[in-house]
Structure 1
Amino acid sequence: MAEFALAVAGLQTVALRVKNRNLMIQFYRDIIGFSLKREENELAIFGNTKAKSELLWLEESPYADDHAGEIKKLQRLCLVIPSEMEMADLAQRLLEADYPIKDALIDEEATGILVEDPEGNALEIYFGSKKVHQNPTSLQLDALARKATGEFPQLSDSVYFDKIHLNTSRLKEQQDFLENVIGLKVQDETNGILALNGGSFHVGLSAGKGGTLDLSTDGVLGLDFLQFRVSQSDITALAAHLEFLQVEFFIDQKRQIITIYDPTGIEWWFISEDKKRH
């Protein structure tokens, strides 16, 4: 069989397993600015202002272990803000809430803010170039917030996740999964960190041990699954490729959804663009 390549359309949804849904809703809706689209049983579903956007799912799991302070499968999520004005409104919300800032940096081409949600999931928010930045300096958040106009009380329809950085105890296997199983090109980044590029989505990998890295996502808080929209032809090709490799996966009867677990235990969902959205 010829070398397989998957043309990823981009990350549609990140799902997090959480303990206190109300507290997490307050953070992601009222401070970060996600739109709460709907709630379904244990789920809270968020997006930007686009009607069918579902960027973030929070699934309440009150009996899951939190492993507070320990290493998690998710190192950080990166959220792209399209304009300085929108970034300023977000900075103002952070200041008004007196929310703890882990880091805030600026250089000639980018502005970035790093926070952790109430359950310790790291969120990097940035505006500007994706290039590697040289000699960034500390960002004065109040100076940025003074540019706020209030025009963006919610995240605009151009906001999206462009990168997820994972910790894994099985670095080589995880790289092999990304490159050879689901067919995404892997590139070396720096300092032993691996990254892949496909469409507008980027993944970083870092080696680690302990914490939740070797535990099932069903029983611990944090990252649960990633969901992508791809073409129907990619669904068909991916299914054939996985069958050829004799890799365990699930495909629905209409052959429009594929789910597969990576070596770190994270579930990847690939959903056909032909499948109707909610």
Structure 2
Amino acid sequence: MSKEYTVPSKTSVGHVHLKVSNLDRALEFYRDLLGFELTTMYGERAAFLSAGGYHHHIGLNTWNSAGGPPAPRNSAGLYHVAFLYPTRKDLAEILQRLIDAEYPITGASDHGVSEAIYLEDPDGNGVELYRDRPKEEWAYSKGGSVKMVTEPLDIEDLLGELN
């Protein structure tokens, strides 16, 4: 490659497509618990879901994974998929929904630039639910790099958004 290339600034991640072992169980998580809308079934072994009517943000399939075990934790693969919520109140609402459903939360962090809740889907895929702080609130190093941290998330303060 002779010329340096930078991806266009408006590029974004369009969707994630996950192999799952049980499509109904995956739909219970992504559709029924997290609230993504089912946009289409692709036969009986794949489903596509979205937020806000897009054709799909999440693809789920059992084409090669029906009944299979979760991927090994100590191998290469997906670390987590992250879903960006538009507001802090939206993040508080999904957190309360998880608490009410008694769904296990594996972590909750304040990263300085964002606030995040971590969990796993029924197949052990990592899921991050987060909201970004306004860019004006981000901290930068003297060299211009974004400063990110991993501090405990103030859950009570976040849930206070619901009052």
Same fold (TM over 0.5): yes
2:58 alignment counterpart:
56
1:85 alignment counterpart:
89
1:144 alignment counterpart:
158
Counterparts in 2 of 1:198-213, with a 5 A limit?
A: none
Aligned-residue offset at 1:119: 0.7
1:37 and 2:51 correspond: no
Q: Which runs of 5+ in 2 are unaligned?
A: 139-145
Q: Which whole-Å CA distance do the structure 2 matches of 1:135 and 1:74 have between them? A: 20
Q: Which whole-Å CA distance do the structure 1 matches of 2:162 and 2:37 have between them? A: 19
Judged with a 3 Å threshold, the aligned counterparts in structure 2 of structure 1 residues 68 and 2 are, in CA distance, closer, same or farther, namely closer
2:143 alignment counterpart:
none
**Structure ranking higher in strand proportion:** 1
Q: Which runs of 5+ in 1 are unaligned?
A: 150-278
1:3 and 2:3 correspond: yes
Q: Which has the larger radius of gyration?
A: 1
Aligned-residue offset at 1:77: 1.5
Q: Which whole-Å CA distance do the structure 2 matches of 1:99 and 1:80 have between them? A: 19
Identity level (%): 24
Counterparts in 2 of 1:226-265, with a 5 A limit?
A: none
Aligned-residue offset at 1:89: 1.2
71-80 vs 91-100, which moves further = 71-80
Query: Does the CA-based 8 Å contact 1:111-1:126 persist in structure 2?
Result: yes
Query: Does the CA-based 8 Å contact 1:88-1:144 persist in structure 2?
Result: yes
Higher relative contact order (CA 8 A, sep 6+): 1
1:126-153 deviation per Cα after TM superposition (whole angstroms, max 9, x unaligned) = 112474333622432x55335338xxxx
Query: Does the CA-based 8 Å contact 1:68-1:120 persist in structure 2?
Result: no
1:133 alignment counterpart:
148
100-109 vs 60-69, which moves further = 60-69
Aligned-residue offset at 1:78: 1.9
1:121 alignment counterpart:
125
